[in-house]
Structure 1
């Protein structure tokens, strides 16, 4: 299981109540499950969000196929207005 930091931006930051927090998870899917459990507003935002793992876009890859390395930085990017 990897340990790292997850960073929240814009609406995700508001919903999480913090800018970043540590995590322990093996895959992005596991991480999403862990961070959204009991946090309904964050879960709603995360469903619309895209992700970067160590600066690389996840894109359309299945989240259970995105393996997290120890020391990874995951960023949650909700849709931004004005693109």
Structure 2
């Protein structure tokens, strides 16, 4: 089980009610299943992209993404800008 930090941005931060929190999870899939228990967060997660230690997850299955000890997961909702 890896321990790290999950950081929420924009709408994800609003839904979670905190900018970041610690996690204990083996894979990104495990982590997302745990935080999806909050219905507001679950709705936002469907639209988010994720970075694990700065690397984009893309379209890979979250269950196949192992989380490193001390890692940082960024939850990025869609946003406009440029």
Q: Which range, TM-score by smaller chain?
A: over 0.9
Return the alpha-carbon distance in structure 2 between the equivalents of residues 2 and 17 of structure 1: 23
In structure 2, list runs of 5 or more residues that go unmatched: none
TM-score, length of structure 1 as denominator length: 0.95
In structure 1, list runs of 5 or more residues that go unmatched: none
Deviation at 1:49, TM superposition (A): 0.2
Kindly report which structure 2 residues correspond to 1:41-52, keeping only aligned pairs within 5 A, or say none: 41-52=40-51
CA RMSD after TM alignment: 0.8
- Paired residue total: 82
TM-score, length of structure 2 as denominator length: 0.96
